[in-house]
């Protein structure tokens, strides 16, 4: 069994079972939102804002509609440049502790395979490398537009196709996709992924 990854950033998840699952994969400060509780618990949001002033925060919510709402709330309430957005794939199934599947029939963070979570967090174990990669990566919204990932009738489908190739969920907004790409890919890797040569 692999050792837990040491992650230098606080990680935000939805619930205590998500936290328990991650504790078998990463050694990090893990906070949970109590699901939709984060919408009306001002002290929790105050804590997250205070943390964001000191360090980037990793956000990892479920891939269902509820997870997207919680992620959207966090993204609109905290400085976008202080958030590292991670995504779990939509996988059909039921968590072991539950008798019935979720409303959308997909696994949440707590139901993800340990190896999948390990691979998801591995690029963030080295804070200096993450900061260097994002600060030096010139990838911008202009690139997404040039490659048809925004501004076209089929842009959403193209984003979904690229997201699937990179292990990201479908339905990402251009801003969310760009933030993920800037961490996951070098500029050259992005160009290869979209079939474009770096000029």
Three-class DSSP labels, the chain: CCCCEECCCCEEECCHHHHHHHCCCEECCEEECCHHHHHCCHHHHHHHHHHHHHCCEEEEECCCHHHHHHHHHHHHHCCHHHEEEEECCCCECCCCCCCCCCCCCECCHHHCCHHHHHHHHHHHCCHHHHHHHHHHCCCCHHHHHHCCCCCCCCHHHHHHHHHHHCCCCCCCCHHHHHHHHHHHCCHHHHHHHCCCCCC
CATH 3.40.50.10810 correct for 1-136? no
**Rounded distance between C-alpha atoms, residue 177 and residue 108, angstroms:** 20
What's the whole-number mean pLDDT along residues 22-33? 93
Mean per-residue pLDDT of the chain? 87
Task: Please state the domain extents for the chain.
Answer: 1-136, 137-199
Which is more confident, 175 or 30?
Answer: 30
Q: Considering only 81-90, 136-145, 162-171, which range has the smallest mean pLDDT? A: 162-171
> Per-residue confidence at 117, pLDDT binned at 50, 70, 90?
very high
**What pTM was computed for the model?**
0.72
pLDDT computed for residue 197 by the predictor: 64
pLDDT confidence band for 98 (50 / 70 / 90) = confident
Q: 138-164, pLDDT tens digit by residue? A: 899 999 999 999 999 999 999 999 988
> In this model, does residue 170 exceed pLDDT 80?
no
Please, which pLDDT band fits residue 189 given cuts at 50, 70 and 90?
A: confident
The pLDDT assigned to 1 comes to 60
**Least trusted range by pLDDT, from 24-28, 44-48, 147-151:** 44-48
pLDDT of amino acid 127: 81
């Amino acid at each position: 069994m692999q050792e837990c990854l040491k992650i230098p950033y606080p990680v935000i998840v939805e619930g205590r079972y998500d936290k328990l699952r991650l504790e078998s994969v990463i050694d990090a400060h893990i906070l949970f939102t109590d699901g939709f509780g984060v919408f009306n618990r001002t002290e929790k949001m105050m804590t997250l804002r205070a943390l964001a002033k000191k360090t980037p925060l990793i956000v990892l919510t479920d891939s269902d509609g509820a997870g997207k709402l919680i992620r959207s709330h966090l993204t609109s309430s905290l400085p976008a440049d202080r958030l590292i957005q991670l995504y779990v794939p939509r996988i059909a199934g039921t968590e072991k502790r539950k008798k019935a599947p979720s409303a959308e029939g997909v696994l949440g963070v707590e139901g993800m395979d340990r190896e999948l979570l390990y691979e998801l967090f591995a690029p963030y174990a080295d804070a200096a490398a993450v900061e260097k990669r994002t600060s030096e990566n010139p990838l911008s919204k202009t690139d997404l537009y040039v490659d048809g990932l925004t501004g076209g009738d089929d842009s959403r489908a193209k984003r979904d196709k690229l997201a699937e190739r990179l292990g990201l969920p479908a339905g990402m907004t251009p801003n969310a996709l760009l933030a993920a790409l800037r961490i996951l890919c070098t500029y050259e890797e992005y160009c290869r992924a979209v079939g474009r040569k770096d000029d």
